[in-house]
Amino acid sequence: MEAKTVTLVQESFEKVKPIAPAAAEIFYSKLFELDPAIKPLFPSSDEAMKVQGNKLMSMLGAAVAGLSNLDALIPVLKDLGKRHVEYKVEAYHYETVGAALLGTLEAGLGDAFTPEVKTAWADVYGTMADVMIDAAY
C-alpha cells in the first residue's frame, strides 16, 4: 500500500473522529438503505445500535491506525473476517459495506472528501475487505 494512500486515509479519519457517533448513524442508515436484508443481522434496539456504532468506529479507528504496520494489522483483519462469519455476514455484504462507508465519509467530510481521498479510502477498504473475505470463506 502506498504511503500517500495511508496518509490520506489517516489524515481524513482524524476529521471523522469528532463526529464519530453521527458518522456511525449515517453509516448504518446508508447500509440499511442499500440493503435492507442486512438489518436483521444487527441489534434491533436504538441503545444496542449505539453500542454497535461505537464498536464500528473503534474498530475502524484501530484499522486506520494499523495501516502504518500492516504486518500487525493483517492477522487482526483475518480474525475479524472469521468472526463475521459467525454473525451471518456473507462475502457479498462487503461490497455494500464499502459503499456505505464511502457514502458516510462523503457526508461527514464534505469538501474534504476529494476524489483523491475517495480513491485512497476505496483502495484501503478493498484491501482490508479482501483480507477478511479470504480468511473467512
Asked if 52 contacts 106 with a C-beta cutoff of 8 angstroms, the reply is: no
Per domain, the residue ranges of the chain are 3-136
Q: What is the pLDDT of residue 95?
A: 97
What is the mean pLDDT for each group of 10 consecutive residues in the chain (137 residues)? Answer: 96 97 97 96 93 96 95 95 94 97 97 98 97 96
All cell numbers assigned to 46: 436504538
H-helix or E-strand containing 61? helix 46-66
**Alpha helices, H only, 87-114:** 93-109
Q: What is the pLDDT of residue 21?
A: 96
Q: Which CATH number fits domain 3-136: 1.10.490.10, 3.30.460.80, 1.10.10.10, 1.10.3720.10?
A: 1.10.490.10
Q: What is the pLDDT of residue 1?
A: 86
